[in-house]
Structure formats: C-alpha cells, structure tokens
Chains A and B, each alone.
Chain A
C-alpha cells in the first residue's frame, strides 16, 4: 500500500436481508482515498454511496451487514477491529457529517453538551482535575464553534439546536465532527438540506478546514456541480457499483460511462443554453436478484446483447477506470461528442 493512501476499500459487499429477499446495496465496491485529497462520490439515492461509507464507519444498521471486502484505514483493517476499538476510531480518526443537521443534532441536549461529550470522549491531552478539565473542554468548544463561524460562541453553548438557523446548525454539526481533528471526514450530502447561498458557504468552510487540518474529505452528493468545484477526484456510483472514477476535471470533460454522460446531460448549464435538458430515461433497478449483466443496461442508449454479461471495471485512460465495454469502441466517442 502506498504511503499516500489513507483509506482503501476492496471488494466491499454490503447486503440487507429483507422479507422480499436479499438487497445487495453495495456490490463489490473499491474506494481509494489519498491523504489530503477530496474525493467526490456521485450517485442517485439508492446507488449505495451512503451505505458504502456507513460500512466504512461500521454503522450499517441491522438488517444490513457487510458480507465481504476489506476496509483498510491507515494500515489498519477496520473489519478486524473489536467494537470497542472501532468506536474509539469513529470521531477521532474518521468523522462523519449527515445530510440534515436538524435531525442529526440531539434536540434534547444543548450544543455545548454535545460538543463537550465529544471532546471528553476523544481529546487525550486534557489537563487533570475536574475543574481544569471542564474549563479546557469549554475553551476548546468555544474555539471550535468560533472556527466554524458561530458568532459569540461562548453565549450560545447553552442553547439547543432548534434555536439556531439552518446554516448555523450545519456549521455546528461540522464543528462536532471535526472537534477531535480527524484524518478523514465523510460529508454525506452536506448541502442538500440547505439554501443555495448557504450551500456555498458550508462547502467553502469544509474546504478551508481540510487545508487547515490536512485531512482527507469524502464528499457524498448527487450534485456534479459541487464535485466539479471542490473535489480532486470523483467516483460515480450506480445501483450498488462504481461505474466510473478518475480525476474530476477529466471525468467531467470526457465522461466514459453512459451513465455519467447522462448525469452530465441532465444538468442545466449556461454553456448549453438553448439545448434541451435530457434526463436519463427509466429507473434504477431494484437491487434484489439482479441478473448478471450491466446494471445500466435498461436505460443505456448504447446497450446491446454484448452487455448481457457481468462487466468489470476497466482502464479508461490515465488514472481512470469505467465499467463499460464500449470504452474503446467508436460508439462511445460518438456518444461523447455531442454535449460536452
């Protein structure tokens, strides 16, 4: 493993046992996160992007379970860790923010209490003695809130989450996630619940903190625009699989997989003014008893009988890979040409 790699996931398979049968939410996903980079994960809901990182955090809820795969964080195989050790890593080494801060913050505890318990659980450089310890925790809580841009943080420690505005709550959640200075932040849809003006501020904040703390960020989103602005690399997921990955600029300029092309074509952009927005036809397949073939087949304009086989990820240029047999055929070049 290269020294630059912080997180490496190999062959992850996470399934949910339901009455309708086994749902394979994540099917053979590989993820690599380098130190200090920002990786974007793009996909529709149900693509497995959130479940992949819930698996990394060890937070897959029953009836879900990880069936296979390796999750190596900084040389440690997380799946082999005891529950106790995994718990100690959460928050301290790998942190997570959730989509909606209003539901992610405990409504019955003050912001100060929620920050304090986080610091008490993870900071091991606190001074001895009850009073000194409490004072240090308080000071650090104020420092963290100030850092994420909460004005008069000291006074607001005693307030409950509902007493803050939506943007402020999002900042508080980020402060909580970053309180223990983790090396990896998993930001799950950090902007979906926010107004457009606040979205940009929150993303700027995450980027600034990434540089400041030297941490890696995984940005889970369905918004390719967000990825284009903030991520070094991008991974596109579809129906539990990675369908394309590579450096952001290249993937956006020259998408290799028809699904990525479809995603890009469905975004309204000033450069394409006058052209129709073309949404992807059809629906994501049910993840129960999927036939062994390309999962995008039903919705793909390029599909034919050759796609009715399991498709592997294959190289698609320098540092790029995609899950499509047409990568080297002229068809895909033709498919690319029209709207990019």
Chain B
C-alpha cells in the first residue's frame, strides 16, 4: 500500500470525525437541566458568582462558538472539569482507561483463539454433530443478553463453586507494592515478578472477559466457518491436494490464510463493538473501568465526563474500522490500494 493512498484514507476520516463531534456536542448541549445548577448542587452561591461560573465555562457564548471551543479543547484532550471528582475530566478518564483496554483486549483474544479454530473445524466437518453444536452455540452467543449471562456465571463460579472472585480487578491486599509500569495489571504483576498477584488478576478478569467476548466469539466463528467453506471449494485447495500436500498444511496454511482475510477485518470491527459491551459488563462485574464510570456519571449528571467518554469511544471506534480496512488490504495481496 502506498503512503499517499494511506494519507488519502486518513483524510477521508476527517469529515466523519467532525460529524461525530458535532453529534456529541449537540447531544450534550440539548441535555435538559442547567449545567451550572448541577455544578452548584447544594452549595450556596450569589447570583454574581453564578454569572461568573457561567462566563468561565463559556456558557454565555453562541452555540457555534461553543462548539469550536469544545472541538479545539477536545483535540488537546481537554474536556473541562469533572465537578463530581473536582479534577479534570481527562485525568479521570485516563485513570480508568487502562482497566477497560485490558478487559477489551483479553476479551478479544479469548474470542480470537476460540472462534477461529471452532469455525475452521465446523467448516471442515460440515453437517457433523460438531458443526451442529457450533451452529447452535453461535446462535446462543448472539442471543444471550451479556448482563444476564454475566450474572449466571457469577452465580455459578463465584457464589456456588466459590472459585472465582465476585467483583473488581484484583484483591486490594495483593495489589499493594506493585509498580504500575503499564497500568495493565496482567503485565504489571509479571513485570514485578508477582505471580500471586498475576494469578489473582487473572482470576478477576476471566469471567468479565469471557462474558464480554461471547457475542464476538459467536460472530467470528460464523464468519470463519462461512469463509472457510467458500475457500475449501476453490480450485487452489484441490490443486494443493493434487500436489500431495498434507491435510494439515492445506487446511491451516492454504485455506485458512485466505479465510482469515474476512475474519480479521470483522474481528477489528467487532472489537469496536466490545467498547459498548464494556459499559454493561463492567457494571455487572464491578470492573473499575471507563464503562462503569460513564454509567455512574450519567446518574450523578456528570455530563462533561459522559460527553468526553462518548466522543472518545466514537473516535476509537472509527479508528478501529479504519484499521480493519487497512488490515484487509494488507492481508489480501490481490487488493492494491
């Protein structure tokens, strides 16, 4: 892929990102309730002070001007103050973001390593019992409400069997003395050489990650199966057989390499959908990430934070879709950008 083409693609993102920001801005600007009243809460302020606050955050300006101020600040990652935390919104978000990213990545990895082999096997043994089970599993995976499935898993593993923790990222006692190099607990615990803490963090993340990754697993499995079925019918698979290559080689190299092209781009898009799932799953499992923070912020009417988070999620989502596009062209030698 040429660099100019890549730049061109990046430029095409600008109107989309701009439109996304407009929508997020309007969404919050039209929110009923006076933000100043929300900020003041039950403090006693004079009308003078109130007017000053209004000027400070620019609420007295026209909408269009306010939008450009918002946009300019957003580009510099400045989303104003979180009244609730009495700290900049950006700081609060950055503090919670690693937990969300860690959960998302683990969920994605679980989905990838289970869905692809299952999809391949379902295609190879088409119409077998295995294929049937995979098909039913796939339908269940997209039909299960994540919040309910999470609760069922909690009831089974945390309450009934009592082998996994109910909530959180790590036990407080164990987490002490771990230097946060990356803020990803699974990595930090290892970097600190704390296997006990690693095991504890792993035990905490397993249920939320499985729950979060379930729909993605189901979708990826179906995509892999369909792509694989298509590839197995091609001439080049027959020719590979005629060349006397081993079954394993034909399957995992000749067929899968082609079948993965659609699978990987769907995977990138689905990873974006995990962001939405995060809000639910983090709430169910008490996971201290951004998703839960957003839900909590809605109820305390901490709108600047909600606004910033929605914008951030949307930008990440757009970038993931862009990435999926690029990945598709890289994986597919036939597509010249």
A interface residues, Cβ below 8 angstroms from B: 57, 59, 61, 87-92, 95-96, 98-100, 103-109, 117-118, 121-122, 160, 162, 173, 176-177, 180
Q: Which residues of A contact B246 (CB under 8 A)?
A: 87, 121
| Partner among A103, A121, A162 whose Cβ is within 8 Å of the Cβ of B243 | A121
- The reply to whether A98 and B245 contact each other, CB–CB distance below 8 Å, is no
Residue of B nearest to A84 (CB): B246
Contact pattern, B 225-252, Cβ under 8 Å of A = 1, otherwise 0: 0000000001110111111111101000
**Given A91-B245, A106-B240; 4 other pairs, CB 8 A cutoff:** A59-B238, A96-B239, A117-B243, A117-B245
- The reply to whether A106 and B244 contact each other, CB–CB distance below 8 Å, is no
| Partner among A99, A105, A108 whose Cβ is within 8 Å of the Cβ of B332 | A108
Given A90-B243, A108-B257, is A103 in contact with B249 using a C-beta cutoff of 8 Å?
no
User: Within the assembled complex, what's the spacing in Å between the Cα atoms of A105 and B332?
Assistant: 14
Q: Which residues of B contact A99 (CB under 8 A)?
A: 235
Give the tally of cross-chain contacts (CB within 8 A).
81
B254 within 8 A of A: yes
- The reply to whether A162 and B234 contact each other, CB–CB distance below 8 Å, is no
- The reply to whether B333 and A160 contact each other, CB–CB distance below 8 Å, is yes
- The reply to whether B243 and A118 contact each other, CB–CB distance below 8 Å, is yes
Question: How near does chain B come to A193, taking the closest CB pair, in angstroms?
Answer: 11
- The reply to whether A88 and B244 contact each other, CB–CB distance below 8 Å, is yes
Contact pattern, B 93-111, Cβ under 8 Å of A = 1, otherwise 0: 0000000000000000000
Q: Which of B242, B253, B257 has the largest number of chain A CB atoms within 10 A?
A: B242
Question: How near does chain A come to B242, taking the closest CB pair, in angstroms?
Answer: 4
User: Within the assembled complex, what's the spacing in Å between the Cα atoms of A89 and B243?
Assistant: 9
User: Within the assembled complex, what's the spacing in Å between the Cα atoms of A176 and B258?
Assistant: 20
Given A109-B257, A162-B333, is A104 in contact with B236 using a C-beta cutoff of 8 Å?
yes
Q: Which residues of A contact B247 (CB under 8 A)?
A: 87
Q: Which residues of A contact B86 (CB under 8 A)?
A: none
Q: Which residues of A contact B332 (CB under 8 A)?
A: 107-108
Contact pattern, B 307-335, Cβ under 8 Å of A = 1, otherwise 0: 00000000000000000000000011110
Q: Which of B240, B244, B245 has the largest number of chain A CB atoms within 10 A?
A: B244
Q: Which residues of A contact B333 (CB under 8 A)?
A: 107-108, 160, 162
- The reply to whether B239 and A90 contact each other, CB–CB distance below 8 Å, is no
Given A107-B258, A108-B258, A108-B332, is A122 in contact with B244 using a C-beta cutoff of 8 Å?
yes
User: Within the assembled complex, what's the spacing in Å between the Cα atoms of A108 and B252?
Assistant: 13
Question: How near does chain B come to A66, taking the closest CB pair, in angstroms?
Answer: 16
Question: How near does chain A come to B293, taking the closest CB pair, in angstroms?
Answer: 43
Given A98-B235, A100-B235, A162-B334, is A106 in contact with B242 using a C-beta cutoff of 8 Å?
no
- The reply to whether B236 and A105 contact each other, CB–CB distance below 8 Å, is yes
| Partner among A57, A90, A103, A107 whose Cβ is within 8 Å of the Cβ of B334 | A107
Q: Which residues of A contact B257 (CB under 8 A)?
A: 106, 108-109
User: Within the assembled complex, what's the spacing in Å between the Cα atoms of A109 and B244?
Assistant: 17
User: Within the assembled complex, what's the spacing in Å between the Cα atoms of A117 and B243?
Assistant: 9
Question: How near does chain A come to B52, taking the closest CB pair, in angstroms?
Answer: 65
Q: Which residues of A contact B239 (CB under 8 A)?
A: 96, 98, 104-105, 173, 176
User: Within the assembled complex, what's the spacing in Å between the Cα atoms of A2 and B236?
Assistant: 36
User: Within the assembled complex, what's the spacing in Å between the Cα atoms of A294 and B312?
Assistant: 75
User: Within the assembled complex, what's the spacing in Å between the Cα atoms of A96 and B331?
Assistant: 29
- The reply to whether A103 and B236 contact each other, CB–CB distance below 8 Å, is yes
- The reply to whether A106 and B258 contact each other, CB–CB distance below 8 Å, is yes
Q: Which residues of B contact A105 (CB under 8 A)?
A: 236, 239
